[in-house]
Structure 1
Amino acid sequence: MAIQANFSDASASSVDASEVAKFSKLSEEWWDPRGKMAPLHKINPLRLTYIRDAACRKFDRNVRSLNCLSGLRMLDIGCGAGLLCEPFTRLGAQVIGIDPSATNIAAAKLHADKGHLSIDYRCTTVEEMDVRERFDIVLAMEVVEHVVDVGAFLDRCASMLKPGGVMVVSTLNRNWKSFALGIVAAEYVLRWLPRGTHQWDKFVTPDELAHHLSRNKLEITEQSGVVYNPLGDRWTLSSDMDVNYMVVAEEV
């Protein structure tokens, strides 16, 4: 949940300084499942399963194996304090987590050290990374709705993929339903998120996302909506992509 900057021209940066500052203030609460990041903790098991299963299908791995991602390089863009990085490291992946917030990276490193996990955390942006670095799996989870230039950001994300790699993206659709549920309900009525967490005009429709990915020779091979079940108090996959959704993209 973070923002990226253009590596060659600060004036054309896709980083939004106000967004970085917003999430930096929450850095001390990332690992508190009852704090301001509680919604992220609630949805995290679903995200983990979705990404793990997509990676195992792509690379022909046994999803039940405790080291099913062994030998795979994974880049988590906008990693926050490492809610995805840590479990994927435990599944054997070589994880690089990047975030432009120094406080988020500090929190991530501290928590990983406590768990005796070796994770390559970097306070940087995807645009500032070495263009020669490549990854089997690239994650952009709850990130694209916070950047200034979605197209430029996704171009750079795609360039980090190895041939035959897979990208997983999650974000929010842009329509009146997402405004009502993703902002009014989540931030003002239910108070799941701090007010101002999201800007509705930055939400990205599935068609827009598919367009940006196709420019980089990536095709969406899987897609699913993510909905909250109040009776079970959990998030589930759904055919309803009107609000939250996730996609898997691979080379055409």
Structure 2
Amino acid sequence: MTAETTALPGEIAKFDALAAQWWDPQGPMAPLHRMNPLRCGWIASRLAAAEGRMGQSLQGLRVLDVGCGAGLASEGLARLGARVTGLDAAGTALEAARAHAAAGGLEIDYRQGTPEDLAAAGERFDAVVALEVIEHVTDRAAFLAALAAVVKPGGMVFLSTLNRTARSFLFAKLGAEYLLRLLPRGTHDWKMFVTPAELGAEARRAGLRVTDIAGMSARAGGREWRESRDVAVNYIVAARRD
């Protein structure tokens, strides 16, 4: 039996339609390609430290990538040694993910489903990541509860998302989708963006304690992304399950 889900059918269809272009670094997912080294490096550093390791080694750690799409973060984390399970409700995107991983010689366990499904099955992971996902779900509280349920006690959950500010509306919605056309129109609904305060409070109610937060800021016309203190648009969070 499939567990009750927080996935939105319209959002699944939207990202499934982009499957064939997902791995084109100049295509509609170009911003994620440019952001991905920062996201994966930030996660790896904090996860390795939490596990008492040096550098960014994730060797042997079991990591779940929720909303993996065609596998940008899954592959980045796998190349750092993690045993990655990529999870998405979009079947066509997963086909692209499997093909790309196979071509690159990477062993990634891609599955179609939701974290609620894995929680119902009793699966547990050393860490869970959900990158640019939470602003696309029906119920943030239920989604966070599902992430907490599939990470082991003491394990880490990582989320990246968009803040709901005037600047994010200007740059991430109007600028990226309508003026610069970096993303397809309709990719985001600004009303579903989440502030760090909201995310922190909802995470605590789910049994997750935020341990770190950083802004992700574009440089060089969006061609480079760096960690910053500015969380007004894009930001990334680390939380530990109590």
Who is 1:8 aligned against? 3
The code of the aligned residue for 1:191 comes to: R
The code of the aligned residue for 2:153 comes to: P
Evaluate the alpha carbon distance shift between residue 155 and residue 232 of structure 1 in structure 2; reply closer, same or farther with a 3 A threshold.
closer
Who is 2:108 aligned against? 119
Secondary structure of 1:116's aligned partner: coil
Per-residue deviation, 1:8: 3.4
The code of the aligned residue for 2:138 comes to: V
Measure, in 2, the Cα distance between the counterparts of 1:7 and 1:138: 20
Who is 1:248 aligned against? 238
Per-residue deviation, 1:210: 0.6
Secondary structure of 1:84's aligned partner: helix
Please say if residues 131 and 160 of structure 1, whose CA atoms lie closer than 8 Å, have aligned partners that are also in contact.
Answer: no
Please say if residues 157 and 241 of structure 2, whose CA atoms lie closer than 8 Å, have aligned partners that are also in contact.
Answer: no
- Equivalent runs, 1:204-243 vs 2, <5 Å: 204-230=194-220, 233-243=223-233
Please say if residues 100 and 125 of structure 1, whose CA atoms lie closer than 8 Å, have aligned partners that are also in contact.
Answer: yes
Who is 1:73 aligned against? 62
Who is 2:31 aligned against? 39
Per-residue deviation, 1:238: 1.1
Who is 1:3 aligned against? none
TM-score by length of 1: 0.91
Measure, in 2, the Cα distance between the counterparts of 1:191 and 1:34: 12
Q: Describe the superposition over 1:21-75 as per-residue Cα deviations: whole angstroms up to 9, x where unpaired.
A: 11011001111101111111011111111011111111111216xxx21121100
The code of the aligned residue for 1:21 comes to: A
The code of the aligned residue for 2:106 comes to: L
Per-residue deviation, 1:87: 2.4
TM-score by length of 2: 0.95
1:132 paired to 2:132: no
- Equivalent runs, 1:42-191 vs 2, <5 Å: 42-63=34-55, 68-129=57-118, 130-191=120-181
Q: Describe the superposition over 1:150-170 as per-residue Cα deviations: whole angstroms up to 9, x where unpaired.
A: 111111011111011001000
Secondary structure of 1:137's aligned partner: strand
Secondary structure of 1:138's aligned partner: strand
Measure, in 2, the Cα distance between the counterparts of 1:90 and 1:189: 35
Quick one: which of 12, 15, 19 aligns to 2:11? 19
Evaluate the alpha carbon distance shift between residue 231 and residue 152 of structure 1 in structure 2; reply closer, same or farther with a 3 A threshold.
closer
The code of the aligned residue for 1:222 comes to: D
Superposition RMSD on alpha carbons, in Å? 1.6
Runs of at least 5 residues in structure 1 that lack an aligned partner in the other structure: 1-5
Measure, in 2, the Cα distance between the counterparts of 1:105 and 1:157: 20
Per-residue deviation, 1:211: 1.1
Who is 1:198 aligned against? 188
Per-residue deviation, 1:231: 6.1
Measure, in 1, the Cα distance between the counterparts of 2:73 and 2:130: 11
Please say if residues 98 and 124 of structure 1, whose CA atoms lie closer than 8 Å, have aligned partners that are also in contact.
Answer: yes
Query: Runs (4+) of structure 1 moved beyond 6 Å?
Result: none
Taking only the aligned residue pairs, the percentage that are identical comes to: 46
Q: Describe the superposition over 1:102-123 as per-residue Cα deviations: whole angstroms up to 9, x where unpaired.
A: 1011001111111121110001
